[in-house]
Structure 1
Amino acid sequence: MKIFSTSHDFNYSWEEVSIANWRKYSPWNKKTPHVIAVDTLARHVDPETGILRTERLITCHQSAPKWLSSFLGGTEVSHVYETSYVDPRTKTVTMCSTNMTWADLLSVRETVVYKPCAAARNSKTTFEQTAQIVAMCGGWQKVKNSIEQFTVERFSQNAAKGREGFEMVLEMSRRVFAQERERLAQQVEAKL
């Protein structure tokens, strides 16, 4: 098993980040052209805790090197199952995802957490990402290590792109909300 882990502080409040998270794969994000579709399978708010639980299926175009593609059956479309929990009381968004495609050969379990930054609770949000990667190649330790190492390196590259793309979404969301607040203020002022 190999572990990938990273963290980053966004210069946006938890409220801004938790709302923009639903637009992460929108056209505003120029860094996610590989995402083909995001389908919401279920959504529920727990009346006691207020936690919003959402299940989604994310379909991606995923290219792999030829040596790895032969183990994975040559398909370039993959599916990821994601369950997210938005807790408004603790101001935490937790997203857990696992690959469905190639799951009998490679297990990737990712956890992402967004929470207010300890140093600037009202203006910054801490992003933590961890992935556990396990190749299931039986006794082929060298192949197993190569697949796991390639996946960790790909995660690292994608994490950097994902952070850049999410910054784009956050900035666009901030602009849209600012425009909407200004429009509403003008409407209120016109009625007075």
Structure 2
Amino acid sequence: MQTMDTISTLPDGALASPAVARNTGPILEVLRAHLPARGAVLEIAAGSGEHAVAFARALPGLDWTPSDPSPEARASIAAWSEAAALPNLTAPLALDVLDKATWPQGPVQALVCINMIHISPWSATDALMRLAGQTLVQPGGLLILYGPFREADAPLAPSNAAFDDSLKARDPSWGLRDLDAVVEAARAEGLRLTLRREMPANNLMLLFRRIS
């Protein structure tokens, strides 16, 4: 499981992240305001599964499907899901955005991707946008991204600059992505940026909508 968080392992094998505990509330506030009341949501790179459980519990009208390419992450998601026993939370998918054979075939109303694109190569962002283009087939279909970004018209916060350096030291293909490049990659798949929301700890939430 790709992460820069401090992770602890619980007795049942579930993983727990302090960062998830901190950002769940602010993210959920945006999800409540913009996700449809009903429909299918696919979460990409769901990590420990704590977000999936929290969001599925708070949004019972949505069928929430978490996914992650990491067996360790999927085991944690399964442990959290079993403990929560939510009827609208499905088993985790072994979805790798870089492996099209693992992509689900059915359409969804929304894709949610939290803290992935800076902890992966740029090819993963391109693939995520292609996946969004394939699964968000209805007008208004929603792609939601959360994380730190570079913006051409805003200075990079010192904490984000240090974080970017630490990412690149771990893997030169990682790092904070230019917002303009992300917007262009989404536009190539028929998705338009409709909301940029500043979040705690110098993060952003970006909402993209299917425009045709």
Q: For the superposition of Structure 1 and Structure 2, which TM-score range results when normalised by the shorter chain? A: under 0.3
In terms of fraction of residues, the more helix-rich structure is: 2
- TM-score normalised over the length of structure 1: 0.27
- TM-score normalised over the length of structure 2: 0.26
In terms of fraction of residues, the more strand-rich structure is: 1
Structure of higher RCO (CA pairs closer than 8 Å, 6+ residues apart): 1
